[in-house]
């Protein structure tokens, strides 16, 4: 499918916003924070960068939840990984 110049501009902008949201998400990964803190960091950054809404859910998966990913945060507190 051929994209119009406007579609390409929008896709580039969406990518820029996503990259910044991922950076905010990574910055929020700290022992004691919750998955809700991560969600707020990423979605807040998206909105502050100009997104007009959040249209997809965030899947949260870690060592304990890999086999049962959650669509939305549930307040799980991050802890230091143990071997």
Q: What is the mean pLDDT of residues 7-17?
A: 95
Whether 83 is in a domain gets the answer: no
What pLDDT shows up at residue 70? 57
List the one residue out of 66, 72, 61 whose CA is nearest residue 36.
Answer: 72
pLDDT digits (tens, 9 = 90+) for 14-65: 999 999 999 999 999 999 999 999 999 999 999 999 998 887 655 555 555 5
Res. 69: pLDDT tops 60: no
Q: Which region holds residue 61: left if phi is over 0, alpha if psi is between -120 and 50, else beta?
A: beta
Whether 79 is in a domain gets the answer: no
Domain extent for 38: 1-74
Whether 5 is in a domain gets the answer: yes
What pLDDT shows up at residue 44? 95
Q: Which region holds residue 77: left if phi is over 0, alpha if psi is between -120 and 50, else beta?
A: beta
pLDDT-based confidence at 68, cuts 50/70/90? low
The total number of structural domains in the chain stands at 1
Query: Half-sphere exposure of residue 21, counting CA atoms within 13 Å on the CB side?
Result: 20
Output phi, psi for 34, to 5 deg. -110, 165
């Amino acid at each position: 499918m051929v994209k119009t110049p406007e579609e390409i501009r929008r896709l580039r902008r969406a990518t820029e916003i996503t990259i910044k949201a991922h950076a905010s998400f990574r910055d929020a990964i700290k022992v004691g924070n919750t998955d809700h803190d991560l969600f707020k960091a990423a979605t807040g950054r998206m909105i502050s960068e100009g997104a007009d809404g959040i249209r997809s859910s965030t899947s949260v998966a870690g060592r304990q939840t890999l086999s049962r990913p959650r669509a939305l945060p549930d307040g799980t507190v991050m802890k230091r990984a143990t071997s």
